[in-house]
Amino acid sequence: MMPSCVFCERGSTAPASCRRSFPGPSAKARKGKAIMYLTEDQQLFRDAVRKMAEKEIAPIAAEIDDTDRFPKELVPIFGDMGLLQMWVPEQYGGPGGNLTSVCLAKEEVARVSEAASLMVGNNSIGMILPLLHFGSEEQRQRFLPEIAKGRTLTAVAMTEPHAGSDVGAMKTRAVRDGNAAYVLNGQKCYITFGSVADYILVFARTDPDAKGFDGISAFIVDTKTKGFRVGRNERKMGIHGIPNVEIFFDDMRVPVENMVGEEGKGFRAAMKILDLNRPTVGAISVGLAQGAIDVAIAYAKERKQFGRSISQFQGLQFMIADMAMQTEAARSLVYECARQVDNGDLRNLATMASMAKCFASDVAMKVTTDAVQILGGAGYMKDYPVERMMRDAKINQIFEGTNQIQRVIISRHLLQ
């Protein structure tokens, strides 16, 4: 049997197409970069997530990408580690995590699979953060203990065919029907986890006469409710294995008590939730970039041309140096944003969150592209993970608000 190949995307042994087996990143490389303010518990947590990712996720990452299947076997693994429900406070039975812990977990998982990293903190934006910041205590008591068990998946439904960045163009309607319920009708698209979620935070217009962001409300929808329907699963460039689907509401009744926050103020409330979630996209991007660097360095040390390792060529050395500098800068920005949030300093949250998301995702796109270049023809082949990393990196520049939108937010803050 040939030795295991960490670059091979087709099984536990190196196929003939790899032509040789390569060692994984050195112990020094696997140790990762130190984040100065991490507590001992956070460092131990990061190490535990890394070990889990290498054991449970790395062996199936390529297969998930090839088959585009949702890795449901990871749900109990993540749930038992508290990764799905990280932000649920201890008083509701959760682990009581914070933004730094979410970013640490997402970064470590993204080093081997961005798709799997999207499952980390799955319930944060769809349930936990909206309830903690804008929900009632009755809603928190009703939903959070269930989320804390680590077996529930949630999603957020905001985007529509004609309302992406322009949320004010939203057409999905919620009409009050007496004192008991709202009736939802409409369509959403590109909804991440929409076909596997138990609950979805749905944004719908409750005041048809309101302009722009006003008149939009948020509802927790049980996906078992009559009138909820899932459409096609989109065929995507990357993040295979994570469903992105159309969903439809056909006279679906939602209890009045499932509205989160004030009627007509749902979207403005959601902006704070997006600000809290955007740094986690930055963390995913940092992890993805670091994973690509690890592969590129190991390959460059082993690959020989003109009688010596290609790592000895200065042109390639400069590429790796730039990749490392950019990734470390992105990491510092992401965790500085997380530190400020965890310390309760929210004065510059929107700007810092946009900077972290925008800069880190741009870095991930460049670093993964450079990693493919360093591997040359091999990097373009599916036998090696960098082509998957490059495809996955692109979405980070698009979702949670495009990087053009992030630059608008940053510049408005600076120029106001």
Q: How far apart are CA 156 and CA 144, in angstroms?
A: 16
Long-range contacts at 370-377 (CB < 8 A, ≥ 24 apart): 370/292, 370/296, 370/319, 370/322, 370/323, 371/292, 371/293, 371/295, 371/296, 371/323, 373/319, 374/296, 374/299, 374/300, 374/310, 374/316, 374/319, 374/320, 375/295, 375/296, 375/299, 375/303
Query: At residue 10, does pLDDT exceed 70?
Result: no
Predicted confidence at residue 388, as pLDDT, reads 98
Query: At residue 262, does pLDDT exceed 70?
Result: yes
Q: What is the mean pLDDT of the chain?
A: 90
Contacts of 171 (CB under 8 A, 6+ apart): 160, 162, 163, 186, 187, 205
Query: At residue 412, does pLDDT exceed 60?
Result: yes
Query: At residue 394, does pLDDT exceed 60?
Result: yes
- One of 107, 146, 246, 400 is an active-site residue; which one? 400
pLDDT digits (tens, 9 = 90+) for 174-229: 999 999 999 999 999 999 999 999 999 999 999 988 887 889 999 999 999 999 99
Query: At residue 276, does pLDDT exceed 50?
Result: yes
Q: Are 115 and 100 within 8 A, CB to CB?
A: no
Q: What is the distance in angstroms between the CA of the first residue and the CA of the last residue of the chain?
A: 65
Query: At residue 31, does pLDDT exceed 60?
Result: no
The answer to whether the 16-148 and 154-264 domains have the same CATH topology is no
Q: How far apart are CA 301 and CA 210, in angstroms?
A: 61
pLDDT digits (tens, 9 = 90+) for 365-381: 999 999 999 999 999 99
Q: Which two tokens stand for residue 68?
A: 């585009």
Predicted confidence at residue 209, as pLDDT, reads 85
Q: Are 284 and 396 within 8 A, CB to CB?
A: yes
Radius of gyration of the chain (CA): 22
Pairing of strands 154-157, 199-205: parallel
Contacts of 86 (CB under 8 A, 6+ apart): 94, 95, 97, 101, 102, 105, 120, 121, 124
Assign residue 241 a region (left: φ > 0; alpha: ψ between -120 and 50; beta: otherwise): left
Residue from 178, 227, 159, 171 nearest 204 by CA: 171
Q: Under CATH, to which class is 16-148 assigned?
A: mainly alpha
Q: How far apart are CA 52 and CA 102, in angstroms?
A: 15
Residue from 152, 404, 130 nearest 269 by CA: 130
Confidence of residue 274 (pLDDT cuts 50, 70, 90): confident
Fold of 268-415: Butyryl-CoA Dehydrogenase, subunit A; domain 3 (1.20.140)
Predicted confidence at residue 19, as pLDDT, reads 34
pTM: 0.90
Domain ranges of the chain: 16-148, 154-264, 268-415
**Other residues' Cβ atoms within 10 Å of the Cβ of residue 95:** 17
Predicted confidence at residue 6, as pLDDT, reads 39
Q: Can 400 be counted among the known catalytic residues? A: yes
Fold of 154-264: Butyryl-CoA Dehydrogenase, subunit A; domain 2 (2.40.110)
Q: How far apart are CA 135 and CA 144, in angstroms?
A: 11
Residue from 328, 183, 201 nearest 269 by CA: 201
Confidence of residue 36 (pLDDT cuts 50, 70, 90): low
Q: Are 285 and 291 within 8 A, CB to CB?
A: no
Confidence of residue 35 (pLDDT cuts 50, 70, 90): low
Burial class (CB in 10 A: 0-12, 13-18, 19+), 171: middle
